[in-house]
Amino acid sequence: MHPTPPPLALLPRRRLLGRALAAPLSPLLALAGCASPWPEVPPGPGSASARARLREAANAQGLATWPGVHDVNLGYDALPWPASRGLQPGGPAQMRLLRASGQLALQSAPMAPGATPLAAALHRLLLGPIMLANVDGPVNWAEPQTLAGRRCDHLHLQLSPGLGTTGADRLSLFIDRDEGLLRRLQASLTGLGPDTLVEVNVDGHRRLAGLTGPARWQSGALAWQMTGLDLNRGYGPEALRSAPWAAPADAPARPLPPG
């Protein structure tokens, strides 16, 4: 088990809220390095071809399977998040997502049930393009980049309301041209301040139960690894309102098969 890092102060403009994810599927946050400037995008409704590329990426992830998913149950080996400004503390964690409503709940160790709107919105994004296939607002092309030897299309989205339902946020997705998989995500976090950004590199993609997603998430020097995943236990939102969660949401996510 990784030690929980101490709380970290937020850094000024073009600093990343994220030293958090790397190892085979790791989620997100902590602070580090400099982000690239946001791309210049034209005004207007966005690019039809860029939106089509986003849809292709969602299809590569298993969009056709997604309507048949009722609930998603994930386990992680560590959550090295800043323990301040409304984000969850570090420690091993379980996550539960109800697809139809988008309700997301987190439990970390020691027990810390629930999730702030911002933390929940970030975790939904880390599930990949499948969560953005029908996003409102413009989708535009930006300058492509090569990440770890992979040429990636760069899609830029504007989200209003923003993450955590506050203000508006900007979002960049870097999609692998060969496999159509998300390789990097960068988002503004206006809910934490006008100049706060998070940048997350994702890797170790696995295909399970018809869905493909990353198994490692890295932000700066920190990383997490996903340890478990299962779908469709059939519980409702009331199971996530207690601490600990009620059955059948309470059991740890099923350990991942060898990959």
Residue 218 pairs in a beta bridge with 201, 223
Enumerate the domain spans of the chain.
Answer: 19-32+49-234
Which among 164, 163, 145 has a CA at the least distance from the CA of 155? 145
Which pLDDT tens digit goes with each residue over 210-248?
999 888 888 766 677 888 999 999 999 999 998 889 999
What is the pTM for the complete model shown?
0.80
Instruction: Name the most confidently modeled range: 42-51, 88-97, 156-165, 230-239.
Output: 230-239
Highest mean pLDDT among 112-116, 125-129, 151-155: 151-155
Residue 150 has which token pair? 């992979």
Longest distance between any two alpha carbons in the chain, whole Å = 49
Lowest mean pLDDT among 4-13, 91-100, 169-178: 4-13
Query: 3-state class of 125 per DSSP?
Result: helix
CATH fold label, 19-32+49-234: outer membrane lipoprotein receptor (LolB), chain A (2.50.20)
Pairing of strands 93-98, 71-76: antiparallel
How would you label 224-240 residue by residue, b for 16+ Cβ within 10 Å and e otherwise?
Answer: bbbbbbbbebebeeebb
pLDDT, mean of residues 186-195: 82
* Mean pLDDT of the region 12-39: 38
Q: How far apart are CA 116 and CA 102, in angstroms?
A: 13
Quick check: 55 pLDDT over 90?
yes
Cα→Cα distances 221→29, 46, 122, Å: 10, 34, 19
